[in-house]
Amino acid sequence: MSAVPYVLLATRNPGKLREVREIAAATRRGGLVWHALHEFAGLPDADESGATFAENARLKALHYGRLTGLPTLADDSGLEVDALHGAPGVHSARFAGTPRDDAANNRKLIGLLTDVPLARRTARFRCAMAFVRDGQVVLESEGTFDGLISDEARGSNGFGYDPHFLVPDLGLTAAELPSAEKNARSHRGQALRSMLTQLEALYRSLGQWGV
């Protein structure tokens, strides 16, 4: 059997990195060794100028794959609010400006929705993933997570917009969900499980899956 493949998770966001590793571990499929950007000093940031999450995921995966020489999995994700015509969308991370500030992003979001009743604050988290190997995008996946935007921030098990993202059937925000429940429902969980299935098929075909 060939050496177990290494895959770079192209993120510096510790919350996102934790979620990806938890979801990957929960699949119980093994077969990959995961690395992260903080293990590589001095890497310049990727250009995230795409008009969609999928375009940005491809740009990031290609950028960091070229710099490290590793097969690279990148995602781009964010919040789409219907009453704001899909904003903040691909600008979710820096909605309130640079540098990224989750508290400022949430204040801006809630401020823009002041006159919008809860029933019309429909929104979704969207995640797109791209996997690059040998300089080419070879796999892609997507996931969505529907909810409502609540004025009240609740919960500590999350990051970004999670404390304001209400899951209607549970009456809890994404930040109030236990990790297992959140990962089972979330946009990132959906996209990653699809990606892991594709990765397993790819590496099995190359005789590089399983430890």
Separation between Cα atoms, residue 41 and residue 116, nearest integer Å: 45
* Burial status of residue 8 (CB atoms within 10 A of its CB: 0-12, 13-18, 19 or more): buried
Separation between Cα atoms, residue 174 and residue 185, nearest integer Å: 10
Hey, what are 184's tokens? 């089972």
Asked if 76 is an active-site residue, the reply is yes
Separation between Cα atoms, residue 13 and residue 121, nearest integer Å: 27
The one catalytic residue among 76, 102, 151, 169? 76
Separation between Cα atoms, residue 108 and residue 91, nearest integer Å: 13
3-state secondary structure of 140: strand
Strands 72-81 and 136-149, by their bridges, are unpaired
DSSP 90: G
User: What phi and psi, each to the nearest 5 degrees, are found at residue 37?
Assistant: -60, -30
Catalytic residues: 76
